[in-house]
């Protein structure tokens, strides 16, 4: 399958990664190569085979549904690029 420039741009948008127009055709070519490699999987007969959800046959561990942590505002915000008054700060989202 060949990936065109439009698809490459759409994927970049979905991934929220800015890609310059001039780089799109190289990106599309890379996707085409990688997907070509992946397409070998079409040779495998997977009829009736369940997709793996967990490599170990176990139910995910669950803990009691109780509060066991908290009051960590300073630690949570310590690495934020921008925080104000105890909140993460971002560019204006609503007018």
Partner 1 sequence: MSDLMRLTLAGARDALRSGQTTAVELTEASLTAVAASKPLNVFVHDTSEIARAQAAAADLRLKAGGAPDMCGLPIGIKDLFCTKGVATQAASSILKGFKPEYESTVSQKLFDAGAIMVGKLNMDEFAMGSSNETSIYGNAVNPWKVDGRELTPGGSSGGSAAAVAAETCLAATGTDTGGSIRQPAAFTGITGIKPTYGRCSRWGIVAFASSLDQAGPITKDVRDAAIMLEAMCGFDPKDSTSMNLPVPNFEAALTGDVRGKTIGIPKEYRVDGMPNELETLWSEGTAMLRDAGAIVKDISLPHTKYALPAYYVIAPAEASSNLARYDGVRFGHRAKLEAGDGITEMYEKTRAEGFGAEVQRRVMVGTYVLSAGFYDAYYNRARRVRTLIKKDFDDVFAAGVDAILTPSTPSAAFGLGEMEDADPVQMYLFDVFTVTVNLAGLPGISVPAGLDSKGLPLGLQLIGQPWEEGDLLNAAFALEKALGFNAKPNQWWL
Question: Which residues in this chain contact partner 1 in the complex, by CB under 8 A?
Answer: 7, 11-12, 14-19, 27, 30-31, 33-35, 37-44, 46, 49-56, 58, 60-63, 72, 75-76, 78-82, 88, 90-93
Joined together, the tokens standing for residue 58 give 């176990």
CB-CB contact of 28 with 4 (8 Å): yes
Joined together, the tokens standing for residue 20 give 């310059």
Compute the least distance from the CB of residue 3 to partner 1, in Å: 8
**CA gap 25, 14 in Å, rounded:** 17
Compute the least distance from the CB of residue 86 to partner 1, in Å: 14
């Amino acid at each position: 399958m060949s990936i065109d420039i439009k698809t490459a741009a759409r994927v970049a948008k979905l991934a929220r990664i800015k890609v310059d127009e001039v780089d799109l055709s190289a990106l599309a070519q890379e996707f085409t190569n990688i997907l070509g490699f992946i397409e070998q999987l079409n040779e495998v007969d997977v009829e009736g085979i369940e997709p793996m959800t967990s490599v170990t046959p176990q139910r995910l561990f669950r803990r009691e549904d109780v509060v066991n942590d908290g009051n960590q505002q300073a630690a949570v915000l310590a690495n934020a690029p921008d925080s104000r008054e105890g909140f993460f700060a971002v560019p204006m989202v609503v007018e």
